[in-house]
Amino acid sequence: MFGYIARRILIAIPTILVIITVAFFMMRAAPGGPFDLERPMPEEVRQNILEHFGFDRPLHEQYFAYLGGLAQADLGPSLRFRDKTVADIIGEGFPVSATIGGLSILLALMVGSFMGAIAALRQNRMTDFAVMGFAMGGITIPPFVMGPILALVFGIGLGWLPVGGLDPRYGMTPERLVLPVITLALPQIAIVSRLMRASMIEVLRSNYIRTA
């Protein structure tokens, strides 16, 4: 088991390096820049900004500096927010993302396992068809489509849930977590239910189950 995990990690390292490299050079090849504004700024000011962020250096030096920063978990300063680094911004939003992600995984495991078990016990019946139809819809409809639909129906249309994001005055209240958690959980519920159904059907068809 340890050998398998070690091999997967060794395979993942060059893959991640290739992705980082491609993303870096694609961003540099894109037209425009982070400091291109509607109103042109003086060239001296522009050069000072480029020098401050290291964009005046040769491309290969920028690349290796970028890799070195990643190795030290240093993502550099934010180009939008003054006196903040990218790591600071990620750290501010990570607790919210971790909470929503963890709750969505928990919901997916609970609901998906239950639905998959019901579908397996009711194989080739209306319940099975309904669960598999729901699973197909959950897989084919991406969260960025399902999210606005849920917000439009349950937030704006029915007015049951807030759609304005987290309120800094009250924090992560349960009613503000419902829509994002369900939106992220729906595709995972579909996957878990299909896997649970297939696994249970295989077990139910085993010889020792039939003999019992």
Residues 19 and 97 in one domain: no
Q: In whole angstroms, what is the distance from residue 33 CA to residue 97 CA?
A: 29
Residues 127 and 58 in one domain: no
Q: In whole angstroms, what is the distance from residue 22 CA to residue 117 CA?
A: 43
13-47 residue pLDDT tens = 888 888 888 888 887 777 766 666 656 667 677 77
Whether the pLDDT of residue 88 is over 70: the answer is yes
**Confidence band of 106 (pLDDT split at 50, 70, 90):** very high
Residue 186: strand pairing partners:
none
If one counts the domains in the chain, the total is: 2
Last residue of a domain, one of 59, 80, 101: 80
What would the mean pLDDT of 159-186 be, rounded to a whole number?
76
Residues 70 and 156 in one domain: no
What would the mean pLDDT of 198-202 be, rounded to a whole number?
80
Residue 166, pLDDT score: 67
Question: 36-45, 60-69, 85-94: lowest mean pLDDT where?
Answer: 36-45
Residue 83 sits at the vertex; the CA angle it makes with 29 and 52, to the nearest 5 degrees, is 45
Residues 176 and 93 in one domain: yes
Residues 15 and 72 in one domain: yes
Residues 40 and 6 in one domain: yes
Q: In whole angstroms, what is the distance from residue 81 CA to residue 12 CA?
A: 33
> What is the residue range of 28's domain?
2-80
The answer to whether 34 touches 76, Cβ cutoff 8 Å, is no
- Give the residue with greater pLDDT, 19 vs 162: 19
Residues 62 and 120 in one domain: no
Tell me the whole-structure pTM to 2 decimals: 0.65
Residues 107 and 76 in one domain: no
Residue type present at position 105: I
Residues 121 and 198 in one domain: yes
Residues 75 and 105 in one domain: no
The answer to whether 197 touches 120, Cβ cutoff 8 Å, is yes
φ, ψ dihedrals at 36, nearest 5°: -80, 110
